[in-house]
Structure 1
Amino acid sequence: MADDWNIHGKTVVVTGATSGIGRETALALAGMGATVVLAVRNQEAGQETAAMIRQNSLSMTSDDWISSLAVGPKLELAQPSSIRSFATQYQKQNRPLHVLVNNAGANYLSEGLSEDGVPLLTQVNYLGPYMLTRLLEGSLVASAPSRVINVSSVTHRYGLIENPANFLSRMRIIGALQATKLGNVLFTYELQRRLGHLGVQACAVDPGAVSTNIYKDSSLFTRQPLKWLIQNLYAPPSDGAAAVVHAASAPWQRQPKKPENLACLQFFARGVFAWPAITAFKGQQQGVIGNLRMQGWALRALSLSALDWPLRRLTQGRGLSQTRAVPSAPASYDQHLAAALWDLSADKGKLPRDISVGGRQI
C-alpha cells in the first residue's frame, strides 16, 4: 500500500539550487505546485534562478503559483555559522518544512578546514547537510508527514569510513568523496531510525551519471577522453534530477513501524544504476582478490555509466526511466557505525545527540 502523499502545496527547501541537479529539481517541484525555497550561497544567482523558473513556467501556471517561489537566507555549507544563521532565519519566518532536499555538494576542494576543524569536503558534503537537517528537525516534525532527501552517489558503494573521528577531523585525498557519500547514506538511515516514528521519512538518492559543474575543478575529468565522456555520454541535469524529484514527490510504499527493518531504509536509483550489476557490489574488501573485485566493479560501473543516458535516449526511456528502491552498499546498513557517526557529528556541530523537538529531547 502506498503512502498518501502529494507534493502540491507543500513547502520544499532545495540546497544548491542555482545549477545542475538542484536547479532542475527546484524547477520540477515548483511546476508540481510546491512552494520552493532556494537555499543557496550566492543570493544573486539565486534570484536569477528564481526568475528563470518563473519565466519557464509562465505559460503553464497561475500567478498564485509564481508567488510560491522564494530565495531563502544565504546558506554556505562550508561555514557552520552560515548553516546556523540559515536555520534561525528560516524558523523566524514561520514557514512549514515538508521536504528538505540536501542536494548541494562538492567534489574537488582545497585541503583546508572549516572554522570547526573539519576537512572542507567532509564539511560541505556530509557535516553541512547533517547540521542543517538537525537544526531544522523541529520544523520537519511539526510539518509531518515530511521528508528528507539526501543526494548521494554511486561512489558510496566503494566508500570506506573505518574511524568516524578521523573522518570528521582528517583530510583523506584518496577516497574522500566516496567516504562523504557513504556518510550521507549512513546519516539517512540513522535519521530514519530516530525520526521515522514522528512522521519524518528519510531517503538517499543516486542521481546517476550527470554532466554538471561538479567536475569542473578536477585535474582528471577535465582531460580527454574523460572530458568528452562526461560532456557527450552523461545525462543532462534535467534527466539527472528525475530520481531526486521522484523521491520528493512520489508516494512511497508504506513503511514497517520497526526502524531496524531494512524495508524502512530507502535508497533510490534509476536506469543502469538500479541494475544488480551495480547494486550487488559488496564494497571494499581486503587482499588481492578483494582488490581485483574492486577494480572489476569500478570498470563495469564506469562502462555502464557511459551507457545509461545513451540507452535511455535510444529506447525513449523504456525500461530505463523508472526510479525504484534498491539496496545501498552493505556498509551503509551498519547500525553501530551510523550511531557512532551521528553522535560524533552532533558533538562536532555543537548539537545535542538526541532529537530535540519543542525544546524537549526525545
Structure 2
Amino acid sequence: MADTWNVQGKTVVVTGATSGIGRETALALSGMGANVVLAVRNQAAGQETAAIIRRVHPGANVEVGPKLELAQPSSIRSFAKEFQKQKRPLHVLVNNAGANYMSDGLSEEGVPLLTQVNYLGPYMLTRLLEGSLAASAPSRVINVSSVTHRYGLIDNAASFLSRSATAVGGQYPATKLGNVLFTYELQRRLGHMGVQACAVDPGAVSTNIYKDSRLFMRQPLKWLIENLYAPPRDGAAAVVHAATQPWQRQPRRRGLLSKQGSGPLLNQRSNSDTWFFARGTFAWPAITGFKGQQEGIVGSLRMQAWAIRALSLSALDWPLRRLTRGKYLSVTKAVPSAPASYDQDLAAALWDLSADRCKLPREVSV
C-alpha cells in the first residue's frame, strides 16, 4: 500500500449506517471529507442519519444510496446496479451491516438468514462491486468481524451455507469466521489489482445487536453491556482506522503468523498479506493467542478458560480507556486472527460455492 492514505474526496459506501458502529463510521469519515454513501434498508432512517451528519459536519457530502436489504439477494443486485449506473468511483467499501439472534428462515437462495445477512450478503455485494473497486484502485474493502470468530467453526463450505448446518459453537461465530475467510481470499484474488481487504474486530460495543437476545438482555449481562461496553462512537475507531490509515508493514518472520501486533500476517502458500485489526484488550495475546475449539476434556477446559478471560477483558477495555481519557488501550493494531481463518482450501471452496449460490462467476470479472 501507499505510505499515505487520505479519504478526503473519496467515495465510501458504509452498510448498516443508520445506527451503532455503521452510523459512527459514516459520521467520522464524512468529517474527514469523504463522499459517503449510506447503504441501508430503512431509507427514512437513512435520511435521518444523513441529516445528523450534516448538522455535525456542515457541508458534508453524504447521501442515502439505493435501498439495500442484505437478506434479499435481489435487493443487493438492485443496489449494485443502481450504484454502477452512476459511473462513480468506489474507494472504500465498509461491510458493517450484520445481525444476531434472528429467527429461523431462508433467503431467496435457500441460505439461512443469519448466514445470508452476515456473510453471503457482504460477499455478494463486494463481488458485484469488484469492478468499481478495481477501477478506483487503490481501494479498500473493510469487513467488520468479531472476537467471536475465534471460536467459530466451519466444517465445510456446503454445510455452512445449508439449512441443515447449525455450526458447532454457534451460527453467529461461524458467520464471523466466514467474514475473515472471505477477506483473505478477496485479498489473494484482487490484491494484485490494488484492491486491499481487511477484517476488523471492533471490540465490545453496546449496540442494538444484543436487543433480541434473551441471555444478554437479562441481568447481570444487560448491566454489563450497558455500562461497561463501549459506546458505538468508540467502537467505530478500529473501523475508521482501517479505512483511513496506511497499513504499515513491519519486518516479518517466516511462517504462517508474524509476531502478534507487529504488522501484516504472512500467508505461507500465496505469499500475500492478510490483515486483521483489533484494538485495546482485544489486540492482547491473551485474546489473539486462542487456538480455537479443540476436542476432548482438555480442549473444553481451555475453551472455558479463554471465554472467562475474554469476558473479563471485554469488561475492562472501555472503562480503562475512558478513565485514562484515551491514553491507554486506544491503539489499533494488526493482529493474528483465528488459526481457522488461514485455511486457504476452505476459503477457496467457500468463495466458489458462494459464487454459485449468488449466480456469479467464480473468477473475478475485472
TM-score normalised to structure 2 length: 0.93
Asked if 1:48 is matched to 2:23, the reply is no
CA contact (8 A) 2:265 2:336 kept: no
Between the aligned partners of 1:301 and 1:70, the Cα distance in structure 2 is 38
Q: Aligned pair in 2 of structure 1 residues 128, 204: CA closer, same or farther (>3 Å)? A: same
Asked if 1:317 is matched to 2:326, the reply is yes
2:261 corresponds in structure 1 to none
Q: What's the RMSD between the two structures over aligned residues?
A: 1.6
1:93 corresponds in structure 2 to 86
237, 240, 247: which one aligns with 1:242: 237
Between the aligned partners of 2:248 and 2:348, the Cα distance in structure 1 is 25
Between the aligned partners of 1:333 and 1:3, the Cα distance in structure 2 is 26
Between the aligned partners of 2:285 and 2:10, the Cα distance in structure 1 is 34
Asked if 1:137 is matched to 2:130, the reply is yes
Q: CA deviation at 1:260?
A: 4.3
> How many residues are paired up?
350
2:5 corresponds in structure 1 to 5
Partner of 1:157, secondary structure, is helix
Partner of 1:356, secondary structure, is coil
Between the aligned partners of 1:240 and 1:258, the Cα distance in structure 2 is 28
Asked if 1:230 is matched to 2:229, the reply is no
Which letter does structure 1 place at the counterpart of 2:52?
A: M
Between the aligned partners of 2:79 and 2:190, the Cα distance in structure 1 is 22
1:111 corresponds in structure 2 to 104
Between the aligned partners of 1:256 and 1:21, the Cα distance in structure 2 is 26
Which letter does structure 2 place at the counterpart of 1:25?
A: T
CA contact (8 A) 1:193 1:260 kept: no
202, 206, 211: which one aligns with 2:206: 211
Between the aligned partners of 1:211 and 1:191, the Cα distance in structure 2 is 30
Map Cα deviations across residues 174-203 of structure 1 (whole Å, 9 max, x no partner).
Answer: 510000000000000000000000000000
Map Cα deviations across residues 300-332 of structure 1 (whole Å, 9 max, x no partner).
Answer: 001110010001011222231010100000000
Equivalent residues in 2 for 1:183-202, closer than 5 Å: 183-202=178-197
1:122 corresponds in structure 2 to 115
Between the aligned partners of 2:343 and 2:328, the Cα distance in structure 1 is 32
Between the aligned partners of 1:93 and 1:313, the Cα distance in structure 2 is 43
Asked if 1:253 is matched to 2:248, the reply is yes
Which letter does structure 2 place at the counterpart of 1:51?
A: A
75, 95, 104: which one aligns with 1:82: 75
Q: Aligned pair in 2 of structure 1 residues 93, 165: CA closer, same or farther (>3 Å)? A: same
Map Cα deviations across residues 231-254 of structure 1 (whole Å, 9 max, x no partner).
Answer: 000000000000000000111125
2:345 corresponds in structure 1 to 336
323, 336, 351: which one aligns with 1:327: 336
Between the aligned partners of 2:141 and 2:333, the Cα distance in structure 1 is 17
Asked if 1:308 is matched to 2:317, the reply is yes
CA contact (8 A) 2:142 2:200 kept: yes
302, 305, 327: which one aligns with 1:296: 305
Partner of 1:77, secondary structure, is coil
Between the aligned partners of 1:273 and 1:257, the Cα distance in structure 2 is 21
2:276 corresponds in structure 1 to 267
Map Cα deviations across residues 311-354 of structure 1 (whole Å, 9 max, x no partner).
Answer: 10112222310101000000000100100000010011111000
Q: Aligned pair in 2 of structure 1 residues 111, 231: CA closer, same or farther (>3 Å)? A: same
Which letter does structure 2 place at the counterpart of 1:246?
A: H
CA contact (8 A) 2:106 2:113 kept: yes
Identity %: 80
CA contact (8 A) 1:28 1:245 kept: yes
Q: CA deviation at 1:56?
A: 1.1
Q: CA deviation at 1:4?
A: 2.8
CA contact (8 A) 1:84 1:132 kept: yes
Between the aligned partners of 2:329 and 2:23, the Cα distance in structure 1 is 23
CA contact (8 A) 1:144 1:200 kept: yes
Which letter does structure 1 place at the counterpart of 2:24?
A: E
Q: Aligned pair in 2 of structure 1 residues 257, 337: CA closer, same or farther (>3 Å)? A: closer
Between the aligned partners of 1:88 and 1:57, the Cα distance in structure 2 is 30
Unaligned runs of 5+ in 2: 250-263
CA contact (8 A) 2:39 2:65 kept: yes
Between the aligned partners of 1:318 and 1:327, the Cα distance in structure 2 is 24
Q: CA deviation at 1:5?
A: 1.5
Between the aligned partners of 1:158 and 1:343, the Cα distance in structure 2 is 24
Between the aligned partners of 2:294 and 2:75, the Cα distance in structure 1 is 39
Map Cα deviations across residues 111-141 of structure 1 (whole Å, 9 max, x no partner).
Answer: 1000110000000000000000000000000
Asked if 1:177 is matched to 2:163, the reply is no
Unaligned runs of 5+ in 1: 358-362
CA contact (8 A) 1:2 1:253 kept: no
Q: CA deviation at 1:258?
A: 8.2
Which letter does structure 2 place at the counterpart of 1:103?
A: N
Between the aligned partners of 2:268 and 2:364, the Cα distance in structure 1 is 15
2:253 corresponds in structure 1 to none
TM-score normalised to structure 1 length: 0.94
152, 159, 174: which one aligns with 2:145: 152
